[in-house]
Amino acid sequence: MSKKFYIKTYGCQMNVYDSERMSDVMDGEGYSATDNPDDADMVILNTCHIREKAAEKVYSDIGRLRQIREKRTKDGKETYLAVAGCVAQAEGAEMMRRAPTIDMVLGPQTYHRLPAMMKESKTQRASTGKSRVLDTDFPVEAKFDHLPKDMRGKGPAAFLTVQEGCDKFCTFCVVPYTRGTEFSRPLGDLMDEAKRMADAGIIEVTLLGQNVNAYHGDNGKGGIVSLSDLIHHVAEIAGIERIRYTTSHPRDMDADLLAAHRDVAKLMPYLHLPIQSGSNAILDAMNRKHSAERYMELVVELRAARPDIALSSDFIVGFPGESDADFEATMELVRQVQYAQAYSFKYSPRPGTPASVMETQVDESVKAARLAELQAELNKQQSAFNAASVGQKMAVLLERRGKFEHQLVGRSPFLQAVYVDVKDKLDESAHTPYTGLMGKLVDVEIISGGPNSLQGKVA
């Protein structure tokens, strides 16, 4: 029987992508995936550091895993534990001291070295009874050079990491410290990967990066391509019908990228464009390098380029020094924009960041009250956006089966989850029903809309 691995992913889409790549590495080592840590010979925790006491959550999971390991040891089975991702990068050595259960610590830049680390770990256990393998370098050889060549069987929508790291140094954020400085992958590599995706039947590609619109890749001819250039190139690949990108910084929304929303039909009418706060004083203190007015201008320009564009954002409430008036400016901006959806968070001081040592920290109770007020407004806007979809016909990319029989789930152009009843579309001739629809772009009539999703039927 082949050995099994279990990966738990915390945090953002970059981590989801990294977990997929670590799964590929484990596949390559002859391991198969399991959803059950009790069965796993190798457990990987892919951690996140961006908010809350993320590290504490990881430690409590490690505690649970220690018990699983003890039980497995009694049954004569070995278990290895690797901690990966941003917590590992930020405090890997300390984690190893605190939790002897950990065999390996690897940062987001070194997962391609996992096989070598596993070998080293086994050797150490054989000779000393324990394992302490740590690799949180920012190696010169790029992990992207070690991507697998085959991507079949992964569903019709995929991420393509085009850029990583961030040089913006927003004063609340750990990303520049954990993911390092900005790095853009060369155009040629990305086109190869996107074509392989198309060959494998992938229809929707999301270009991924911490600061994706800062993308500036080598074109192989001594020049540089921007994100809008890249979008135009990817749009030419037959088979790829939908393109998205995330996450963007308002500062890097240039005229070409705005024009791409007008000119590239495959670019989906949805944009996640975080502003964090509607107050200029707070935006300054956050080092966001733009004003609320500039953001509102961008919103107007985006809607001129693509009138049906749906907007999303991130907000932080209770940043140090945020007054009632500052918060009210955020509420006012939200009311003006009218978002299709958005994420909002209480400010969480991250060790090592400038904002964490500002003296004007806001009370937890004030943060909680502001968050509740903001989320009530954002939920209202999201429900209104979903309600406005009812009666429309839209192309939905059907990605997976739903909970109920005769149900498939997919995404609308505006990234809404759509539950589609396919009862009358049963494909009698096929062994698996609905094979004709799964993984395809299908025209769907929206029948109803809730706060978080839509329901529809095949049009």
Terminal-residue alpha carbon distance, the chain: 46
Scanning 236-244, 304-312, 341-349, 418-426 for contacts with ligand 5AD by CB under 6 A, the matching segment is 341-349
Nearer to ligand SF4, 114 or 271 (CB): 271
Per CB under 6 A, 276 contacts ligand 5AD: yes
Instruction: Tell me the C-alpha to C-alpha distance, in Å, between residue 57 and each of 5, 12, 63, 110, 227.
Output: 21, 16, 10, 23, 36
* Binding residues among 403-442 for ligand 5AD as defined by CB under 6 A: none
How far, rounded to the nearest angstrom, does the alpha carbon of residue 197 sit from its chain's CA centroid? 18
Distance of closest approach, residue 314 Cβ to ligand SF4, in angstroms: 8
Scanning 17-25, 155-163, 251-259, 346-354 for contacts with ligand 5AD by CB under 6 A, the matching segment is 346-354
**Apex 311 CA angle, 179 and 181, nearest 5:** 15
Query: With CB cut-offs between 5 and 8 Å by kind, which of ligand 5AD, ligand SF4, none does residue 106 bind?
Result: none
Per CB under 6 A, 361 contacts ligand 5AD: no
Per CB under 6 A, 230 contacts ligand SF4: no
Per CB under 6 A, 316 contacts ligand 5AD: yes
Distance of closest approach, residue 144 Cβ to ligand 5AD, in angstroms: 22
Label residue 406 exposed, middle or buried (CB < 10 Å: 0-12, 13-18, 19+).
middle
Nearer to ligand SF4, 317 or 420 (CB): 317
Chosen residue from 64, 93, 141, 169 binding ligand SF4 by CB under 6 A:
169
What letter represents residue 198's amino acid? A
Query: With CB cut-offs between 5 and 8 Å by kind, which of ligand 5AD, ligand SF4, none does residue 19 bind?
Result: none
Per CB under 6 A, 175 contacts ligand SF4: yes
Distance of closest approach, residue 171 Cβ to ligand SF4, in angstroms: 8
Q: Which residues bind ligand SF4 (CB under 6 A)?
A: 166, 168-170, 173, 175-176, 210-211, 249
Q: Which residues bind ligand 5AD (CB under 6 A)?
A: 50-51, 172-173, 274, 276, 314, 316, 345, 347-348, 350
